[in-house]
Structures are given as C-alpha cells and as structure tokens.
Amino acid sequence: MRVPLLDLRRDTSLDAQLEAAFRRVLQSGHYILGPEAEAFERACADYVGARFALGVSSGTDALLLALMAAGVGPGDEVICPTFTFFATAGTIARLGAKPVFVDIRPCCFNADAAAIEEKLSARTKAVVPVHLFGQCAEMQPIRRLCQERGVFVLEDAAQAFGATTEEGRAGALGHAAAFSFFPSKNLGAFGDAGLVTTDDAALAERMSLLRTHGAKPKYFHAAVGGNFRIDALQSALLAVKLPHLDGWTDRRQKNASLYRDLFSAYGWAATPPRCWEAAPRPDAPILLPPHCRGRHIYNQFVIRVPGEGRRDALRAHLAERGVGTEVYYPVAMHQQACFASLSPDDRQFPEATLACRETVALPIFPELTEAEIDRVVSAIKEFVER
Ligand SMILES: Cc1ncc(COP(=O)(O)O)c(C=O)c1O
C-alpha cells in the first residue's frame, strides 16, 4: 500500500460546486478582485474574528504587504524565528530591513518569547511570530513585550487558518496577520493566494492602497505599493471550500489522535513535555509532537527522530515502502547562504539546528484512511525494531 504525503484529488465531492463557481467567474468577465473577492474577504473576516480581511496574491505577498504597511524599511530590525519557511525572513530582507533570528521552543517549534525579549532593541520595528505546522505561538507574552515597546506584531499565520489560542483565533492575535492559501494548506487554493487580516481600520486602508500599487484613484500614486491582488477565480473557489474547513480540520485532528494511539502501544514512542512544563524531553527513538496550546489544526504532523542520520534513514526506509514524508525544514534561516552576512552561528540557535536534523512530517491530510495511518506506523515500527 502506497501512502502519499498529500493527495489533493482524493476528495472530489466539491467538484460540481467548484465547476459552477468557475463558470460564474468565467461568465462575469471580472477576473481580479471585485465582488467574488469581497464576498470571500467578508467570510474570512467572520471566520477569523478580525474586522478587516484583504485577499492577496500569496502568503508571501501577505507578509510583504503587511510589513510595508507597517512602515518597515532600511535601518529597521524585524525579529522572527529562524525555523520557518523562507518567506518569513525573505520579505523582511526584501524591504531592506534586517531579519533578527530567534531560536524556537523545542516542543511547539515556535519562537521562544524569552528569546524575543533578548533580541528586542531600539531598532526593532516589528516581530513576526510564526504559527508553525498549525499551532499558535505563545502570543500573550509576545504581545505584551511588543505593546510595552510600541513594536508591530505580524502573525505569520500561513499554516494556521483556524488555529486558536485561549485568546482567540490566529489572525486576530497581533496587529495584523498573513495567511497562505497555497494548495497544501488546510484551506488551499487552485494556485497561489493569500490573505491579510487586521482590526485596525487605518492599517487596513493602507494595505488596501498598497495592494494596488498605492494608486488612489487609479493612476495617481500616493505611495509605492505592488500588485498584491487576489484573483476573482481563487476567491470564488476558496469560498466554496471555506464552509468545509472545520470538518477537514476535525479529520486532521482525528488522524493525529490515531497516530498517537497507535504509537503509544509501543515503548519506543514518547511525547515530550508541553511548553509550560520545564521537564527534559524523553530519551526515545521517536518523539511525537506535543499539543502545547489552543486548537492545533495539524497542517503538518511532525515527529522527531533523534540520533545522527536517523531521520534521513527513516525517510529512506519509508520511501522504499511507498510512504511519503517531507522535511520542513532542513535548513534554518540563519543557515541560509543569502543571510551569511548576518554572521549566523548554530550555537545561538541550538533548538532550531536540532529540529532541522531530527524532524520529519508524516501524512496527515483529511482523507487519509485508518489503514493508511496504520501502515505508516507499522513501517516506522519495522525501522525502530529492526
Ligand atoms: C510559515 C510560512 N510563511 C509564509 C509562507 C508563504 O506563503 P505562500 O507560499 O502562499 O507565498 C508559507 C508557505 O508555505 C509558510 O509556510
């Protein structure tokens, strides 16, 4: 039995509705922004619990747009975790600002608030916590630190549409948030698309202006922006999918529980303590991801395989048996060649450096069957017990 990491064509139950939405947009003759985008934006604002939502061209552009609107530029420092997708740091650098990296918590893989506090300086313009793999960062202390110093907080919620903390949903936990609808996300488009959210009317207005080259009215440019607009087609297709998102997330959570149940039958799989427990992590061949806070939407189910070369050996073993996996991420931001001038040093980021070596994502998509999950776990059992 082959088990893919992700299969975007397994659920075809919405095909008729998606085709109808496609035909509606085709016949409208209106292909960028417009009423389809506005309807989707309203639905997203309601879902997230933010006052304003703006559809944009990608998650990367969502980050870029929000940072531009916050006035980030040359001479500024912007703090972000080093263990993240490149866009988090790349957008900061594209604006001429300096990305200042922080290490992650070993449990939830998200930026450590204490590390952020250490890196805050008079030049810090913004902090970009990332809700990695679908679980929110510890936003309360991060927000408090930033509030005290008047620092802008942009949630990189690309992987966390629908995730929550005790204080609310991702997208309503900072000054602004950036989402991605890349096809592999829990709410995936049929191409590139993204979203920014905020409760701040002036910021929403600024982002709306910069989304269309800073033009208001057309051809009169009050500011230098970009083309960050969402397509009408992506908006219409995403609006068909949005009402089903919570059902898909429930299934991802069930899959995660099933993994935990199946793994827990063996002595060699352990779950490290959660963020707020200061205990050392267990010494086990396989470590499962702890559920540290709020609603984890499991965009990814990421396990650790401690031991030199063991993660890559497990991946090869699973690949031979037709089980798809992926490493998010093999190289941290401080290790990227393009950031070499920032004088990176693995010793400053021990947890992120270790996570790059130990972590691997297993299949978790909603349509995965119990038999497939069982197959993944038994293939890992073969590896551990051989
Ligand atoms: C954490 C994070 N930030 C930003 C992005 C960028 O989103 P997009 O691929 O839609 O540009 C991604 C996408 O994978 C992501 O995972």
Of 6, 56, 60, 135, best ligand 1 pocket probe by most atoms within 8 Å of the beta carbon: 60
| CA separation for the pair 207, 70 (Å, rounded) | 9
Q: Determine the pLDDT at residue 280.
A: 84
303: phi then psi, degrees, rounded to nearest 5? -100, 165
Helices 34-48 & 15-28 angle (0-180, nearest 10): 130
Assigned CATH topology for domain 245-385: Aspartate Aminotransferase, domain 1 (3.90.1150)
pLDDT tens-digit series, residues 139-180: 999 999 999 999 999 999 999 999 999 889 999 999 999 999
Specify whether the CB–CB gap between 349 and 357 falls below 8 A.
Answer: no
Instruction: Please check whether the two domains, 15-243 and 245-385, share a CATH topology.
Output: no
Pocket mutation for ligand 1, best pick of 82, 85, 190 (most atoms within 8 Å of C-beta): 85
Per-residue pLDDT at 205 exceeds 90: yes
* pLDDT at 275 exceeding the cut of 90: no
Q: Where does the pLDDT of residue 312 fall: very low under 50, low under 70, confident under 90, or very high at 90 and above?
A: very high
Distance CA 243, CA 355 (A): 34
Q: Look at residues 109, 240, 148 and name the one whose alpha carbon lies nearest to residue 187.
A: 240
Domain boundaries, the chain: 15-243, 245-385
The pLDDT score that the predictor gives to residue 277 is: 73
Q: Tell which CATH classification among 3.40.50.2300, 3.90.850.10, 3.30.1330.10, 3.40.640.10 matches the domain 15-243.
A: 3.40.640.10
Q: What is the pLDDT of residue 274?
A: 87
Q: Is 180 in the pocket of ligand 1 (CB under 6 A)?
A: yes
Q: How far is the CA of 299 from the centre of ligand 1 (A)?
A: 12
130 lines ligand 1 (CB under 6 A): yes
